[in-house]
Chain A
């Protein structure tokens, strides 16, 4: 089956990004497809490459980046939510006149339409948030 996942809460503050990660891994291990993960609300903060957690803690962004690379997951960060919270790729940084970008590898910034499209195309959709 095709399972779509939404992460709508920030990393470290809330468990949602962790639960979603374990769920995605388990789904892939069972042979399901996870074509896309959509990050919304504070969930967009998972996508900053500037996060530096202590060595004895999990690195949420790196975990997602690795999982996506190994399984060809399209990780989409909502542009409207990202702009509010200062998550920018190089193009957006240029477009908005900012001096830096911070989007981690494996994520891309796009519109909410990608969330609706995921709902249309996946057999099931699961939301993780607060």
Chain B
């Protein structure tokens, strides 16, 4: 992994109103095959992508929120969510769906993929990347 680049996928938009969230997820699923160091950032309205209980039957649009739970299978295990963005929107980490990955090295122990970080930590994460893609 030493020559792997660090890729950060920045999600700042809410789902369904526009297609960016869905097409961002499609990029991440493909990116996972390239053995780079992949992280996802959710801030501003992007935190709305991860809320529980999304049900799209009435709007006739595909519900892609369950797909986030498959990311662990794709070895995408770092989903950074900004605490201030949640706070500003009256959300709490418990309003987000649970997303886990199985650690092969620890007997497939399930570990949380969502990591709540402060705005300052998010800035550090952004500054630590080789490539930043925004959606």
Contact = CB atoms under 8 A, between A and B. Distances in A.
Interface of B: 5, 7, 19-20, 23, 26-27, 30-31, 33-34, 36, 130-131, 133-135
A125 B5 CA distance: 13
The 5 closest A-B pairs by CB, nearest first: A112-B30, A119-B131, A116-B34, A116-B31, A112-B27
15 contacts: A80-B26, A81-B23, A111-B30, A112-B26, A112-B27, A112-B31, A113-B30, A116-B27, A116-B30, A116-B36, A119-B36, A119-B133, A120-B36, A125-B133, A127-B134
A103 interface: no
* Chain A interface extent, by class: 10 to 19
Given A112-B27, A127-B134, A119 B7 contact: yes
A116 B33 CA distance: 10
Contacts of B36: 116, 119-120
Interface of A: 6, 8, 40-41, 80-81, 111-113, 115-117, 119-120, 125, 127, 129
A40 B133 CA distance: 12
A41 B23 contact: yes
B20 A125 contact: no
A129 B134 contact: yes
Nearest to B32: A116
B30 A40 contact: no
- The residue in B26, B30, B31, B134 that gathers the most chain A C-beta atoms within 10 A of its C-beta is B30
B50 to A, nearest CB: 21
A41 B131 contact: no
Contacts of A8: 135
A110 B5 CA distance: 22
A82 to B, nearest CB: 12
A65 to B, nearest CB: 24
Given A116-B7, A116-B31, 15 more contacts: A40-B23, A41-B19, A41-B20, A81-B23, A112-B27, A115-B30, A116-B36, A119-B7, A119-B36, A119-B130, A119-B131, A120-B34, A120-B36, A125-B131, A127-B133
